[in-house]
């Protein structure tokens, strides 16, 4: 039996078994593709493809042959916002013909023919671009280079520059910072279904006040000028243009879409309907209203469709799926308390599914919608089919079963549904489900079980399995937890426990899946690990999320304390040795747990914490706390500083010194406040590291330091 070493966790081959990402089905359903970390380099993604006819899965593009080079600032920003920390093939798209894929690799757009194996560069050599997009008919490739949008005609080989004013504070065809980081909109330009129109966003950051922050690398210190949209401040100016594209592939003059009228502050989503109209989702600054609108090219005005509204905030999502007949589409709404299925065809009509929550609309096939969601247990997600009869729906029927977390992906025209599954004993499994067949046959695509030559198999005897359960919050809502006891715990022996917390909105940690392997480092060294999804988190009814509105850090901490009350009732837990550890919002939570419940938490590790919400961005922060000028009391009580007098336990702070998301200023301000109070603490900073702290050597050092801290403070 071999205990998991820290360095091996972050070495090659990846112990997670090279989990797939960006699973996509060919338009005709003949193939399934996805990206996987390379066997010899976890920081490189290669393209793999499964052929439906032969049943073979094989590597199709080994990105080691392509020089990744030095990414541009735009590329680095996009990867950071996507939390994509690997190079190689960073994105790809299926060509409509089903036998070619467009790759983004090394900052280049490359067309790969799966039949011949040919690799044909599309964009000019010695250049780098981002936002690489294949048009809907497959004739054009569009991309952003040096702030301007370009298109490349695959039919004629010609290239055309769509915009000419990019550079400096202006970018064309890319989303602004808050759109990527907080709205999770990573598109900045869109093709119409017939390729006759190209819509793009023009972003100018001039309205955003300049601030200067130090970016400290190992060998230099730079004063970086950053236009960071602090809460209450101005956002970037975002305009939306429509450009006609002629039969000859030459773009025409821009037509500007007046989307920001009527008090709309955010361009949240953009999509072309099958008929060619442009559907926009627009948000007010306070995010209590989301307006769905339509724009017809040449008309010069928006046509309102419907609005979503809430007393707290309206969640954004990507569940707009056109049914193929005009502008009708399926949609999910939380107006009934929890996300469920709706249809819009002139008016919004509820189509109840019988599920507790619909998470995602996967696709449509033969009068049925395929969705993911849950019924009864929010920790187990399944795939369902929902029969559609006009404006009504039949109750959802499960296509998956068992104790696991499932997701699904479909092509545009085929009846092939690809289902991914993970459970506490299996990192990943992928199956192809034929929805068109009478018996709904399943074909195995990838079996990622820990057997055979799986790199984690030699450590499996030391793997600590988790337990799942729930407790009640103060208001009676159920709080679900995942508890990983220390390996080899025996009756009568007391052990320390680390509460591993995120706690922030938009995230659900407790899922019946193969758990994060870093947690095994703690369990195999004598620590229990406890994770609790407190109120404010995602994946539940809106009421569960709304508890944090107007006061961040209050119900979340109370729920985590309730979790420790449960822990203290277990016969193997030492109630005097409970620690807390978190990153980002979790770092903020770790500080508040130590400060507001010092009698409960004996020590804590806070990584890249938010400490003052006035130093965080507009879209995220104002969603929960409003305008700081109108609600200064909310910002004060939600920051860590009013609570620091209660912080007495041992504290380890960590932060990347080039973090452009949760700025290093959060930690420097905290350092000063702790020093003023004479409060002892430990500090570890990482030169050149950004918010994710994912660099291999940084990750190894970080976890060794955390393990050493808890070993000294809790054992």
Catalytic residue numbers, as ranges: 584, 659, 691
Residues 672-707 as b/e (b if ≥16 CB within 10 A, e otherwise) read ebbeeeeeeeeeeebeebbbbbbbeebbbbbbebbb
Q: Output Rg (C-alpha) for the chain, integer angstroms.
A: 25
Alpha carbons 458 and 604: distance in angstroms, whole number: 32
HSE, CB side, 13 Å, CA atoms: give it for residue 660. Answer: 21
Give 74-127 as a DSSP string. Answer: HHHHHHHHHT---EEEEEEEE-TTSSEEEEEETTEEEEEETTT--EEE-SPTT-
Q: Three-state SS for 252?
A: coil
- The CA-atom distances, in angstroms, between 379 and each of 30, 532, 617, 669 are 33, 11, 30, 38
β-sheet bridge partners, residue 581: 500, 605
Nearest by Cα to 320 from 301, 334, 341, 337: 341
Tokens describing residue 508? 């659900």
Closest CA to 440 of 373, 383, 512: 383
Apex 259 CA angle, 253 and 260, nearest 5: 125
Residue with tokens 């107006």: 335
Start-to-end CA span in the chain (Å): 24
Q: Which residue has the tokens 């078994």?
A: 17
Number of H helices, E strands in the chain: 11, 44
Longest Cα separation, the chain = 79
Q: Is the Cβ–Cβ distance between 530 and 480 less than 8 Å?
A: no
Q: Are the beta carbons of 130 and 146 closer than 8 angstroms?
A: no
Phi, psi of 522 (to 5 degrees): -75, -50
CA dist 563 and 570 (Å) reads: 12
Phi-psi region of 553 (alpha: psi -120 to 50; beta: other; left: phi over 0): left
Peptide bond into 169 cis (omega under 30): no
**Per-residue tokens: 658:** 């080039």
Residues 6+ apart with CB under 8 A from 706: 581, 605, 652, 654
Q: How far apart are CA 321 and CA 343, in angstroms?
A: 10
Structure tokens at 376: 């009864």
Q: Give DSSP secondary structure letters for 356-400.
A: SEEEEEEEEETTEEEEEEESS-TTS-EEEEEEEETTEEPPPEES-
CA-to-CA distance for 267 and 176, rounded, in angstroms?
Answer: 10
Q: How far is CA 653 from the centre of its chain?
A: 25
């Amino acid at each position: 039996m071999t205990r998991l070493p820290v360095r091996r966790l972050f070495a090659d081959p990846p112990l997670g078994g090279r989990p797939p990402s960006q699973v996509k089905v060919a338009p005709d359903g003949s193939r399934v593709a996805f990206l996987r970390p390379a066997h010899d380099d976890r920081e490189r993604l290669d393209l793999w493809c499964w052929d439906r006819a032969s049943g073979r899965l094989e590597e199709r593009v080994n990105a080691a042959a392509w020089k990744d080079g030095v990414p541009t600032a735009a590329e680095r920003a996009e990867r950071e916002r996507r939390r994509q920390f690997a190079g190689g093939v960073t994105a790809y798209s299926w060509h409509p013909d089903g036998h070619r894929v467009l790759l983004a690799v090394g900052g280049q757009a490359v067309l790969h023919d799966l039949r011949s194996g040919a690799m044909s560069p599309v964009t000019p050599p010695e250049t780098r671009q981002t936002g690489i997009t294949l048009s809907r008919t497959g004739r054009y490739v569009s991309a952003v280079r040096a702030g301007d949008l370009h298109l490349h005609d695959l039919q004629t080989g010609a290239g055309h520059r769509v915009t000419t004013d990019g550079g400096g504070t202006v970018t064309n065809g890319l989303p602004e910072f808050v759109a990527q980081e907080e709205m999770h909109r990573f598109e900045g330009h869109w093709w119409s279904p017939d390729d006759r129109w190209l819509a793009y966003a023009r972003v100018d950051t001039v309205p955003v006040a300049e601030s200067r922050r130090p970016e400290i690398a190992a060998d230099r210190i730079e004063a970086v000028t950053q236009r960071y949209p602090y809460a209450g401040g101005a956002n970037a100016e975002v305009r939306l243009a429509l450009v006609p594209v002629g039969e000859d592939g030459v773009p025409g003059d821009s037509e500007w879409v007046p989307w920001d009228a009527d008090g709309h502050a955010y361009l949240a989503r953009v999509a072309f309907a099958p008929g060619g109209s442009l559907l926009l989702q627009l948000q007010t600054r306070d995010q209590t209203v989301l307006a769905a609108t339509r724009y017809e090219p040449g008309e010069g005005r928006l046509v309102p469709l419907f609005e979503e509204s809430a007393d707290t905030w309206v969640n954004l999502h990507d569940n707009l799926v056109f049914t193929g007949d005009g502008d009708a589409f399926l949609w999910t709404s939380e107006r009934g308390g929890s996300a469920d299925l709706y249809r819009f065809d002139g008016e919004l009509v509820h189509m109840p599914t019988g599920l507790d929550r619909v998470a995602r609309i996967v696709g449509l096939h033969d009068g049925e919608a395929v969705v993911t969601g849950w019924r009864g247990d929010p920790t187990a997600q399944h795939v369902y089919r929902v029969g559609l009869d006009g404006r009504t729906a039949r109750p959802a029927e499960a296509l998956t079963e068992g104790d696991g977390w499932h997701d699904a992906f479909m092509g545009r025209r085929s009846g092939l549904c690809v289902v991914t599954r993970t459970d506490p004993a299996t990192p990943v499994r992928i199956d192809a489900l034929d929805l068109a067949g009478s018996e709904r046959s399943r074909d195995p695509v990838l079996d990622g079980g820990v057997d055979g030559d799986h790199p984690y198999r030699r450590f499996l005897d030391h793997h600590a399995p988790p337990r799942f359960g729930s407790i009640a919050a103060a208001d009676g809502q159920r709080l679900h937890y995942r508890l990983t006891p220390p390996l080899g715990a025996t009756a009568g022996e007391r052990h320390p426990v680390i509460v591993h917390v995120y706690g922030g909105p938009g995230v659900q940690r407790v899922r019946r899946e193969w758990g994060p392997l870093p947690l095994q480092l703690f369990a195999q060294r004598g620590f229990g690990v406890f994770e609790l999804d407190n109120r404010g988190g995602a994946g539940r009814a809106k009421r569960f999320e709304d508890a944090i509105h107007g006061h961040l850090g209050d119900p979340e901490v109370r729920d985590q304390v309730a979790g420790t009350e449960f822990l203290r009732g277990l016969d193997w837990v030492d109630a005097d040795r409970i620690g807390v550890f978190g990153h980002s919002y979790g770092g903020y939570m770790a500080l508040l747990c130590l400060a507001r419940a010092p009698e409960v938490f004996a020590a804590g590790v806070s990584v890249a914490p938010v400490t003052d919400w006035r130093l965080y961005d507009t879209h995220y922060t104002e969603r929960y706390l409003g305008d700081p000028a109108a609600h200064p009391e909310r910002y004060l009580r939600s920051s860590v500083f009013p609570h620091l007098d209660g912080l007495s336990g041992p504290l380890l702070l960590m932060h990347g010194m080039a973090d452009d998301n949760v700025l290093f200023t959060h930690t420097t301000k905290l350092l000063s406040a702790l020093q003023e109070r004479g409060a002892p603490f430990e500090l570890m900073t990482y030169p050149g590291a950004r918010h994710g702290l994912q660099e291999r050597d940084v990750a190894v050092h970080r976890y060794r330091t955390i393990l050493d801290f808890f070993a000294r403070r809790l054992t």
